[in-house]
Structures are given as C-alpha cells and as structure tokens.
Amino acid sequence: SKQIKMRCEQENILYALRGIVYYANAHFTSQTVTADGDMGYHDGIVTGGRVLRNGKLAEMSELDLLNCKGGTATLLVYSR
C-alpha cells in the first residue's frame, strides 16, 4: 500500500511509503520514495553507488510496486 493508517491513542496517524526492498537470485535491490513522490532504484552490483530515477509513486499501481526488475518486494518502509 502507498500509505497506511494506524490508530494510536484516539488519533489516526498516516504513514507514507518511503522504501521497498526487493529480493531475487540471492540478491537484494531497493527503491526509495522521496517526500515529493519521486522513486529511485538502487542495485549495488548494477548501479554501484548511484540511484537511478524510476518514475513517480503516483503513476504506479500497488501491483507495480510488488515487483521491480525481476525482484519481489520483501520489505516495505513507511514514515510519518
């Protein structure tokens, strides 16, 4: 999900997706999401220390986010 809502002490707190870790073939890759919704792809073997722009979160369906360049989402990171 692009956002999750949790209830804490009578208050709804909204968390936004900030990162996804993918796994395939004994190798992890990731995508980060900026506060502006820009997505960046990182693969230490392929991209080295660079993060490649990979679109906008708003343009991707939740199903699109489950897989990236052959990897399957294994960890999602959210923040307030």
Q: Each residue of 10-61: pLDDT tens digit?
A: 899 999 999 999 999 999 999 999 999 999 999 999 988 899 999 999 999 9
Shortest CA distance to 32 belongs to which of 14, 54, 13? 54
| For the chain, domain boundaries | 3-79
The predicted model scores a pTM of 0.89
Task: Point out which residues pair with 11 in neighbouring strands.
Answer: 8
> What number of residues does the chain have?
80
